[in-house]
Amino acid sequence: MDKKLLKYTPLTEATYYILLSLTKPLHGYGIIKKVEEITNGRLRIAPGTLYGVLTNLLRNELIKLHSIDLSGKKKKTYEVTSDGTKLLYYEITRLREMVDNGMREIDDYYE
């Protein structure tokens, strides 16, 4: 894992799901709906949270501006960068290890 990316871990749950939702270009409302879909409605991202996270991700080049709709609505769409994808893979691996360790320990407890 690139050491410069390690400073962003662990990701907050909102940041994780926002990054995950941007494996395909989406605009703000699309991100909110995608996160709800991925989490079966468990996590609802408020617009203030979303745009704060997007600002940080853009600043750190973990996502990029994909396009701006010129039809008058000015909807910006965002997409994860290669560094953002690397960070997602790292975080998924880290979380998987946590779950595996937890399951092993809890199974040992109940044996």
pLDDT of residue 103: 92
pLDDT of residue 111: 66
Rounded Cα–Cα distance for residues 58 and 90 (Å): 19
Question: Which residues have C-beta within 8 Å of that of residue 1, sequence separation ≥ 6?
Answer: 86, 90
Q: For the chain, which residues score pLDDT lower than 50? A: none
Say if residue 47 is preceded by a cis peptide, omega within 30 of 0: no
Rounded Cα–Cα distance for residues 86 and 89 (Å): 5
3-class secondary-structure state, position 76: strand
pLDDT of residue 70: 65
Task: Please report how the helices 28-38 and 13-21 are oriented relative to each other, as an axis angle in degrees rounded to 10.
Answer: 110
pLDDT of residue 91: 96
Rounded Cα–Cα distance for residues 98 and 92 (Å): 10
pLDDT of residue 1: 73
pLDDT of residue 4: 84
Report the predicted TM-score, pTM, of the whole model to 2 decimal places: 0.89
Domains, the chain, ranges and CATH? Answer: 9-110 (1.10.10.10)
pLDDT of residue 67: 80
pLDDT of residue 108: 74
pLDDT of residue 72: 66
pLDDT of residue 2: 80
